[in-house]
């Protein structure tokens, strides 16, 4: 009987849950009710008030405690006899190695970040344990099944990474409110209250028109006895007035752009604020105020975080918040990083962003909205999490019964599509060019003379390839590794290597070199083939950036294209396993290639809404915030059921064939051809 | 929206304790902090309306327990529970609101136990119990509420309550929900409903007309499109079976299959449709699967809560007028069934 088979599969199962938050609470509850009785759960977070609207296993009295532990205790209250083991830890910790994962029959993810998801994906592949992935944002949700060898792994289709912005957009030419937020948060707030030793682009631009860098430094440093309000106004005038005027002096920048207007405090605020608002002086007398509750808004009579403030109010908040930092939280200055739960920091950043927005003619936003953007807050409700949890358990049961034909990816939509609010889709077969689950070449175009090993490690190996504890070898020579068992000489050696350019390493990495990159914990290994050739892709040449590289997988064999008078692309196709081709590049387009990295051969994600984390759903939204991986419905890859033996043969034999190859998509007017797969 | 004068005193004392303003239009600081993440989904106005809404829920099993949890977390004004059945082993199955401590639940009704658990999820929501038979209530009784949800109700009860709700001058949103085996059905009646929906960055005013429950379940089968969810027809057969035999939800077994198939035959004949419209296997599932499947409860309970939240906030396109879920094919579909097929 099918029921009995199902029951025995459930009862015999040992399940790992990663994440005890929104999805996790609902999932743990549903698993317990469904008869699962051996569940392990990992979560590194503690409970916050904003969790309580949906993470129903938690109460106000639990704030500050471990999510995994409290979730366990809550579920045991209505299912006292099941076995739940909780881990208050980061799933990326070494204790959760392949052997740890191997003990489970299925792994269920309820995570909120791409990084951890990729990590778990790799461990599940290494341990050969099926993975059920999921994500929700607002009313949208999805559940996917990943079984090694049978379906795509989580990384077969590229997931959109968090949006980053070109430095010049942030420092000089903002056009959207989010640019102003990033400026206020990463530059101004960091400069005023953060680590003084950190590089800060705010300096760079300020210096441009300054006669001496010394002069500029003085402005941000506050003298011992300098009046706080004076200091505040000085900063205000410098960043909103002087800096803007300096930027305006560069005509070229503003040829086709709206000119910002400089704003000076004398034009917006009354001469002295302390007369109007004597309470600030009183505040500084009491030193026993809890720093967490210090706030500018009440002092200014502002109560509603959803209210839109005008320029004057924003300016008042700016000065007041700055004053409060110096008056009440002096000790923290120099060590602060922006925290969305730090009310004063949020007030300051909102005000600063709004004043800048006003200057550039960008619409202002309320504190509530600004907080969402600055804090990358994901909007969330209980219902979607509950639905997704139900779907996860259903897939988990299919996996345990090894009912491969029934595996589905299920999308939870806000509005019906062809009458469906819950849309099941058959999973796709593994992507043969996925560098994670199949052994595929990667092409890396890099300036081997200028780029340092550090750039390769940070920007490619860790950030793009998602490796946690990398090891890099060139032939027999170990260029870099991390570990607890290294002696001081080795560590010093590796640190020295990091600062060298690739071509200057003890074992020089040049055109034609092959690198092996590994992460032992994830059991992932890649080979990188280095090729040094001149390449220029974009017509809009701009300032060379210190690290320039592109990489892609599977490029078409021996074709070159002329783009402009001096430009040509060499694109080569590889059938060798795990080869990354390096192609040297001098210049990158700052607007389109902000990181100086062009990832060719990766699926481009659709229009991102990354900046408006606080707005609710668009009609056609494919949600791109990290936690969701929104519905990717229009994929044209082959589904499991359509797989024919003949097709497999065709793939490996015919290297020259057009249709099943991944072609390079380079982001520029002369695109070679679009990728076949559409996200 | 009218409030029962007796309730008002209770509400006043409770609200003042929680630092709420009865007449206040704005959300309190506490509410804003707690509901932050969901306000970012549906906005502060919608949240305000939710805080003032009153929901009546009758018939509490797994799916309805999920529904109640969701709307309490969402921060509705009040939830009134009706279910006088006593807690027993079976009730414990998919209902996580009932702690498995016999000393605690002995002699108490399902509504009473669930009430205590639900209060815990969100102290700002007023959760209470109403005893007695839902179908015996007068029309005026329903005027206190903005939303009425009938879980696992009989055909007669569903019809009667829907009629009463429709008689009121105030619009009371009406829902039924039923889960069997790993399937579920939701019915929605918002009468004449105006709402706003987002279309390409703009807000558009829309209007829908919902048929009554009576009309929706009596629609002739012949003109209904072939691709309509089979569950619609199967549930109508089950409804007739339970009414004829005087059975409650879940009071059936494989032994009843011949009777059920007989009813199916008669209904198909009366509607001039082929019996192949409704697979026998589906009917068999529905009468043998007396215990709800917890994942299906979570899914259907979630969808139902989203619908109620939409109706209360007046924001977002509502389901019209049936929703079906079947874990076997994994689809969750909306079906629009009314007499418009014949016209």
Query: ipTM of the assembly?
Result: 0.91
pLDDT at position A621, please?
Answer: 26
- Whether A515 has a pLDDT exceeding 90, the answer reads no
Cross-chain CB nearest to B34 (options A52, A138, A305): A52
On whether any CB of chain A is under 8 Å from the CB of B35, the answer is: yes
Q: Indicate the pLDDT class of residue A642, thresholds 50, 70 and 90.
A: low
Half-sphere exposure of B165 (CA within 13 A, CB side): 30
User: What is the arithmetic mean of pLDDT over A85-89?
Assistant: 97
Confidence of residue A639 (pLDDT cuts 50, 70, 90): low
Q: How close, in Å, is residue B295 to chain A by CA atoms?
A: 4
Residue A649 has pLDDT above 70, yes or no: no
Q: What is the pLDDT of residue B101?
A: 85
- For residue A51, say whether it is annotated as part of any ligand binding site: yes
- Beta-bridge partners for A412: A141, A422
Residue of A49, A378, A381 lying closest to B34 (CB–CB): A49
Shortest distance, CA B162 to any CA of chain A (angstroms):
25
The residues pairing with B176 across neighbouring beta strands, listed in sequence order, are: B150, B187
Average pLDDT, stretch A451-478?
A: 84
Cβ–Cβ contact B340 with A under 8 A: no
| pLDDT, mean of residues A452-471 | 85
| Confidence at residue A197, expressed as pLDDT on a 0 to 100 scale | 77
A41 confidence band (pLDDT: 50, 70, 90) = very high
- Please name the member of B36, B69, B332 whose beta carbon is closest to the beta carbon of A420: B332
User: What is the mean predicted confidence (pLDDT) over A19-33?
Assistant: 96
The C-alpha atoms of residue A588 and residue A416 are separated, in whole angstroms, by 43
In angstroms, the CA A553 to CA A350 distance is: 42
Alpha-carbon distance B327 to B286, whole Å?
Answer: 13
Rounded distance, CA A348 to CA A573, Å?
51
Given the DSSP bridges, would you call strands A106-109 and A15-18 parallel, antiparallel or unpaired? parallel
CB contact under 8 A, A616 and B38: no
The predicted pLDDT at position A111 comes to 94
SS3 content of chain B, % helix, strand, coil (to 5): 50, 20, 35
pLDDT at B8: 56
- Of A38-52, A354-368, B26-40, B146-160, least confident by mean pLDDT is B26-40
pLDDT of residue A549: 34
Is A112 annotated for ligand binding?
Answer: yes
Q: What average pLDDT score do residues A56-80 get? A: 95
The residue ranges of chain B whose pLDDT is under 50 are 1-6, 13, 16-23, 343
Instruction: Mention every residue, 6+ apart, whose C-beta is less than 8 A from residue B289.
Output: B180, B181, B182, B183
pLDDT higher than threshold 90 for residue A159 = no
**The token pair that represents A428 in the structure block:** 């796709």
Q: Minimal Cα–Cα distance from B257 to chain A, Å?
A: 18
- Interchain CB distance below 8 Å, A50 and B33: yes
More confident site: A118 or A640: A118
Q: Which two tokens stand for residue A390?
A: 């139900």
pLDDT of residue B105: 83
Chain A residues with CB-CB distance to B42 below 8 A: 381, 616
Query: Which stretch of A497-506, A659-668, B239-248 has the lowest confidence by average pLDDT?
Result: A659-668
Interface test with B, best of A381, A383, A425, A619 (most B CBs within 10 A): A383
Determine phi and psi for B95, rounding to 5 degrees.
-105, 100
- How many C-beta atoms lie closer than 10 Å to residue A87's C-beta? 22
Kind plus residue range of the DSSP H or E element containing A591:
none
Does the annotation list A434 as a binding residue? Answer: yes
Domains and CATH numbers, chain B: 6-215+292-341 (3.40.50.720), 217-288 (no CATH)
pLDDT in tens, A595-634: 444 434 333 223 333 332 222 232 222 222 223 333 333 3
Cβ distance B62 to A33 less than 8 Å, yes or no, reads yes
**A585 confidence band (pLDDT: 50, 70, 90):** low
- A53–B34: do the CB atoms touch at under 8 Å? yes
Q: Contact A143/A152 with Cβ under 8 angstroms? A: no
Q: Which residue has better confidence, B123 or A14?
A: A14
The total number of residues shown for chain A amounts to 679
Length of chain B: 343
- Do A348 and A319 contact (CB within 8 A), yes or no? no
pLDDT at position B230: 95
Establish whether A19 is an annotated binding residue.
yes
Residue ranges of A 74-113 with Cβ closer than 8 A to chain B: 77-80
Pull the structure tokens for residue A316.
């008042």
Q: How far is B166 from chain A (nearest CA, A)?
A: 27
Q: Is B105 on the interface with A (CB under 8 A)?
A: no
Average pLDDT over residues A113-138: 93
Query: Where are the extended beta strands (E) located within A219-287?
Result: none
pLDDT given for residue A641 in this prediction = 53
Q: Out of B66, B120, B333, whose CB is closest to A386? A: B66
Residue among A33, A79, A379 minimizing CB distance to B41: A379
Host H or E run for residue B203: strand B202-209
Res A631: pLDDT? 36
Cβ–Cβ under 8 Å, residues B223 and A643: no
Do the Cβ atoms of B206 and B195 come closer than 8 Å? yes
pLDDT band at residue A426 under the 50/70/90 scheme: very high
Domains of chain A: 3-161+379-425 (3.40.50.720), 167-208+217-270+294-375 (1.10.10.520), 442-532 (3.10.290.20)
3-state secondary structure of A407: coil
pLDDT at residue B7, as a whole number: 56
Does the active-site annotation cover A412? Answer: no
Whole-model pTM above 0.80?
A: no
User: Looking at the complex, does the CB of residue A382 fall below 8 Å from at least one CB of chain B?
Assistant: yes
- Would the CB atoms of B294 and A617 count as touching at under 8 Å? no
A contact residues 301-330, partner B, Cβ 8 Å cutoff? 304-306
């Amino acid at each position: 009987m099918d029921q009995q088979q199902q029951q025995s599969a459930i009862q015999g199962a040992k399940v790992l849950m990663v994440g005890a938050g929104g999805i996790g609470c609902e999932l743990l509850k549903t698993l317990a009710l469904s008869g699962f009785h051996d569940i392990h759960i990992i979560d590194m977070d503690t409970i916050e008030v904003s969790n309580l609207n949906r993470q129903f296993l938690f109460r106000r009295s639990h704030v500050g405690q471990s999510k995994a532990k409290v979730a366990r205790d809550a579920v045991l209250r209505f299912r006292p006899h099941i076995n739940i083991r909780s881990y208050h830890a980061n799933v990326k910790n070494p204790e959760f190695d392949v052997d740890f994962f191997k003990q489970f029959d299925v792994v269920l993810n309820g995570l909120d970040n791409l990084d951890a998801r990729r990590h778990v994906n790799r461990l599940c592949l290494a341990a050969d344990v099926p993975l059920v992935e999921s994500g929700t944002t607002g009313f949208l949700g999805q559940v996917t099944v990943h079984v090694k060898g049978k379906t795509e792994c989580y990384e077969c289709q590229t997931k959109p990474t968090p949006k980053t912005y070109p430095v010049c957009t942030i420092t000089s030419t903002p056009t959207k409110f989010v640019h102003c937020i990033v400026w206020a948060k990463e530059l101004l707030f960091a400069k005023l209250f953060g680590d003084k030793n950190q590089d800060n682009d705010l300096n760079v631009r300020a210096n441009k028109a300054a006669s001496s860098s010394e002069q500029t430094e003085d402005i941000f440093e506050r003298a011992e006895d300098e009046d706080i309000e004076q200091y505040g106004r000085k900063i205000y005038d410098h960043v909103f007035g002087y800096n803007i005027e300096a930027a305006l002096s560069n005509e070229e920048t503003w040829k086709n752009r709206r000119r910002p207007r400089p704003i000076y405090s004398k034009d917006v605020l009354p001469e002295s604020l302390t007369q109007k608002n004597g309470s600030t002086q009183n505040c500084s007398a009491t030193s026993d105020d809890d720093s967490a509750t210090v706030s500018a808004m009440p002092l200014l009579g502002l109560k509603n975080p959803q209210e839109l403030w005008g320029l004057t109010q924003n300016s008042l908040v700016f000065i007041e918040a700055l004053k409060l930092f110096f008056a009440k939280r002096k000790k923290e200055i120099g060590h602060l990083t922006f925290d969305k739960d730090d009310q004063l920091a949020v007030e300051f950043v909102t005000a600063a962003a709004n004043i800048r927005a006003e200057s550039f003619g960008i619409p202002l936003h309320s504190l509530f909205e600004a907080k969402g953007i600055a804090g990358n807050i994901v909007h969330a409700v209980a219902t979607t999490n509950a639905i997704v949890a139900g779907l996860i358990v259903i897939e988990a049961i299919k996996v345990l019964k090894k009912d491969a034909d029934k595996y589905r990816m299920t999308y939870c939509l806000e509005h019906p599509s062809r009458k469906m609010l819950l849309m099941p889709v058959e999973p796709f077969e593994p992507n043969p060019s996925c560098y994670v689950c199949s052994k595929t070449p990667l092409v890396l175009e890099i300036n081997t003379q200028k780029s340092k090993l550090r750039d390769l490690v940070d920007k490619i190996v860790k950030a793009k390839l998602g490796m946690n504890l990398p090891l890099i070898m060139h032939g027999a020579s170990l260029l870099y590794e991390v570990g607890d068992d290294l002696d001081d000489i080795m560590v010093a050696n590796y640190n020295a290597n990091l600062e060298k350019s690739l071509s200057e390493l003890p074992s020089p990495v040049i055109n034609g070199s092959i690198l092996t990159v590994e992460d032992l914990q994830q059991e992932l290994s890649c080979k990188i083939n280095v090729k040094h050739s001149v390449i220029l892709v974009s017509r809009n040449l701009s300032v060379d950036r210190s690290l320039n590289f592109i990489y892609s997988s599977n490029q078409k064999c021996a074709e070159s294209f002329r783009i402009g008078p001096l430009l040509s692309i060499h694109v080569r196709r590889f059938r060798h396993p795990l080869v990354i081709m390096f192609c040297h590049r001098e210049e990158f387009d700052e607007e389109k290639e902000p990181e100086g990295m062009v990832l060719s051969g990766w699926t481009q994600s659709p229009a991102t809404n990354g900046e408006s984390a606080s707005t609710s759903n668009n009609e056609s939204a494919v949600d791109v915030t990290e936690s969701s991986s929104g519905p990717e419905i229009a994929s044209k890859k082959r589904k499991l059921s359509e797989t024919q033996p003949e097709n497999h043969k065709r793939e490996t034999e015919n290297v020259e064939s057009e249709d099943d190859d991944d072609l390079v998509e380079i982001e520029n007017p002369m695109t070679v051809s679009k990728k076949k797969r559409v996200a | 929206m009218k409030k029962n004068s007796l309730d008002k005193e209770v509400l006043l004392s409770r609200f003042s304790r929680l630092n709420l303003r009865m007449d206040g239009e704005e959300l309190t600081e506490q509410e804003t902090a707690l509901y932050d993440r969901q306000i970012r989904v549906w906005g502060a106005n919608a949240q305000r309306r939710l805080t003032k809404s009153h929901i009546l829920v009758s018939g509490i099993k797994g799916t309805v327990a999920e529904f109640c949890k969701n709307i309490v977390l969402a921060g509705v004004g009040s939830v009134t529970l009706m279910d006088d059945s006593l807690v027993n082993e079976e009730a414990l199955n998919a209902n996580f609101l009932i702690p498995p401590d016999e000393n605690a639940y002995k002699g108490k009704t399902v509504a009473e136990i669930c009430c205590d658990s639900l209060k815990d999820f969100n102290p700002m929501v007023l959760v209470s119990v109403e005893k007695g038979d839902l179908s015996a209530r007068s029309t005026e009784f329903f005027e206190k509420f903005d939303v009425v949800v009938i879980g696992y109700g009989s055909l007669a009860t569903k019809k009667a309550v829907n009629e009463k709700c429709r008689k009121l001058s105030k619009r009371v949103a009406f829902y039924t929900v039923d889960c069997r085996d790993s399937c579920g059905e939701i019915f929605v009646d918002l009468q004449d409903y105006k709402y706003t929906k987002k279309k390409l960055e703009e807000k558009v005013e829309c209007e829908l007309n919902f048929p009554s429950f009576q009309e929706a379940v009596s629609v002739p089968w012949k003109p209904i499109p072939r691709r309509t969810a089979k569950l619609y027809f199967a549930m109508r057969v089950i409804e007739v079976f339970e009414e004829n035999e005087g059975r409650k939800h879940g009071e059936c077994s494989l032994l009843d299959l011949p009777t059920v198939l007989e009813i199916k035959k008669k209904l198909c004949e009366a509607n001039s449709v082929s019996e192949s419209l409704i697979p026998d296997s589906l009917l068999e599932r529905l009468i043998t699967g007396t215990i709800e499947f917890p994942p299906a409860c979570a899914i259907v309970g979630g969808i139902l809560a989203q619908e109620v939240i939409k109706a209360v906030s007046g924001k977002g396109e509502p389901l019209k007028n049936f929703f079906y879920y079947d874990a076997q094919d994994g689809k969750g579909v909306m079906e629009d069934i009314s007499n418009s097929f014949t016209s």
